[in-house]
Structure 1
Amino acid sequence: MPLETFEGDIVVIDHVKEVGEACDYLSSRNAFGFDTETKPAFKRGQVHKVALIQLSTEKECFLFRLNKIGYPKELEAIMCDPGIKKIGLSLRDDFAAIRKRSVRKLENFIDLQDFVDQFGIEDKSLQKIYAVLFGRKISKNQRVSNWEAEMLTPAQQSYAAIDAWACLRIYNYLTGKSG
């Protein structure tokens, strides 16, 4: 199966001054794909805070580096906005990670693991859902990389963007929507 690539723009937000413009743009959207990344823990009892939130439209993916910018109020407002659909997969762990940074209630999230049931899709991993619908493979090679690194590598950026974008693409395909 051919490997999927994200052909859109990837915008890394690693300074607080960049948050406002990205959030203004995202708050004008009806829906976007969502995912998070956390530095893996390889020692018993070691836990890390969520390091990255990915929010993707069909053509742009914003990578908010929470380990560098914290959890800015503008980003928190989008995550809690009931007027914007956020499409993700296996959201329980993402929600738990975000709750370590904020107690505000996250609103209007759609978990593809539940959503795809009505379409007869039984395999619930992002890779399998995507392969069934689009005949392309999503690489998971960067999953356990260091999401708190000083700079994200191009491979990390691409992986992060694809995960959020693929969620939106699956949702739009299944609902017959675009944009």
Structure 2
Amino acid sequence: MDRTPFPRDQRTVYATTEEEADAALSVVKDGAIVGFDTEFSPRRPTVEEGYLAVIGNPQTRRSALLGLQIVEWRTQTPFAVAWDNIGLRLVQIAHEGTVVVLDLMKIRAIPKQLRRILESETITKAGAGVVADVKVVWDDLRINTMHVVDVALMANLVLCETGLCTNGFNALALKVCVEQLLGQEFPKDEQKSDWAQPELTPAQIEYAAIDAAACERLHETLSAAVAAKAKEVFISRSWYTVNSMFGELLRAKPAQDGQELVWRSDDCGWYRGNKFVGYP
């Protein structure tokens, strides 16, 4: 099937100051649905990470680091972002035809409106493969990103019988989602860009904006498709809707005892290993 290119008709606001970012994001109100994405590069390790590097097991090392971060987060001393060390370069928020691309390397502050949107439990953040995004937001900014919908997991529910989902119930590539669900070619030319360079090119900024815009449009399409499928088989929003606490994913809805449970890909029982085995 011939596909048209994904439209590049979104208005892009490239924010390089805190004032520009807050002004552009102030239009996002409670109850809104926004596209969400980040761009980042490897960051310099913190002093704490340097101390913990002697721990060989990656999971143990991560747990120890989280323990230090949580203690730091709960102290009365405000967390100071090490702007020269962070890897997070851009945060993109797409809303109603406009994508705000925040260049944190230039802003060197956390805009109040960005924190409000990320921490809000009433603003839906629609992203694709969100694990890395919410982790880097926590590691670099100490912000918990709440009520995140992974459109690449929603796509897995809709496309499960097509043979495209060969990695079990895990996020599909954004390019696959756009081409299969929107019927449009999706550019990925700048995927391996150097996001640490002092000045970003117009092509890099456009690439970042398109990713967030695609997530917003996919959410609209997939919400209708998942709702239609849910009339035939059981689908839980908790399979693709999560909260990020301390960089870890938790199910969006609290358990009966009031405690949130760790999100796991095997919560959806449609797969065994990497293979779709049918509906329960």
Higher mean alpha-carbon deviation, 15-24 vs 68-77, is at 68-77
- Over alpha carbons, which structure has the higher Rg? 2
SS class of match (1:100): helix
Contact 2:40/2:88, CA 8 A, preserved across alignment? yes
Q: 2:103 — aligned with what?
A: 65
Q: 1:130 — aligned with what?
A: 178
Normalised TM-score (structure 1): 0.85
Q: What is the alpha-carbon distance in structure 2 between the residues aligned to residue 136 and residue 111 of structure 1?
A: 20
Instruction: Find out whether 1:55 has 2:122 as its counterpart.
Output: no
Contact 1:40/1:144, CA 8 A, preserved across alignment? no
Q: What is the alpha-carbon distance in structure 2 between the residues aligned to residue 150 and residue 25 of structure 1?
A: 29
Q: 1:24 — aligned with what?
A: 26
- Aligned-residue CA RMSD in angstroms? 2.3
Q: 2:139 — aligned with what?
A: 100
Q: Name the CA shift for 1:63/1:9 in 2 (closer, same or farther; >3 Å).
A: same
Instruction: Find out whether 1:156 has 2:194 as its counterpart.
Output: no
Q: What is the alpha-carbon distance in structure 2 between the residues aligned to residue 7 and residue 154 of structure 1?
A: 15
Contact 2:35/2:95, CA 8 A, preserved across alignment? yes
Cα drift, residue 48 of structure 1: 5.1
Q: Deviations over 1:143-177 (max 9, x none)?
A: 12122334332211221111011111111012249
SS class of match (1:25): coil
Cα drift, residue 116 of structure 1: 2.1
Q: What is the alpha-carbon distance in structure 2 between the residues aligned to residue 29 and residue 62 of structure 1?
A: 18
Cα drift, residue 28 of structure 1: 5.5
Normalised TM-score (structure 2): 0.56
Aligned amino acid, residue 134 of structure 1: L
Equivalences for residues 108-127 of structure 1 within 5 A: 108-121=147-160, 122-123=164-165, 124-127=172-175
Contact 1:87/1:171, CA 8 A, preserved across alignment? yes
Q: What is the alpha-carbon distance in structure 1 between the residues aligned to residue 146 and residue 86 of structure 2?
A: 24
Contact 1:23/1:75, CA 8 A, preserved across alignment? yes
SS class of match (1:62): strand
Q: What is the alpha-carbon distance in structure 1 between the residues aligned to residue 88 and residue 143 of structure 2?
A: 16
Unaligned runs of 5+ in 1: none
Cα drift, residue 78 of structure 1: 1.0
Q: 1:146 — aligned with what?
A: 194
Contact 2:92/2:208, CA 8 A, preserved across alignment? yes
Contact 1:39/1:144, CA 8 A, preserved across alignment? no
Cα drift, residue 3 of structure 1: 2.5
Aligned amino acid, residue 172 of structure 1: E
Contact 1:35/1:54, CA 8 A, preserved across alignment? yes
Aligned amino acid, residue 75 of structure 1: L
Higher mean alpha-carbon deviation, 161-170 vs 121-130, is at 121-130
Cα drift, residue 18 of structure 1: 0.9
Higher mean alpha-carbon deviation, 114-123 vs 9-18, is at 114-123
SS class of match (2:38): strand
Of 74, 89, 102, the match for 2:128: 89
Q: What is the alpha-carbon distance in structure 2 between the residues aligned to residue 143 and residue 117 of structure 1?
A: 22
Q: 1:172 — aligned with what?
A: 220
Q: Name the CA shift for 1:28/1:150 in 2 (closer, same or farther; >3 Å).
A: farther
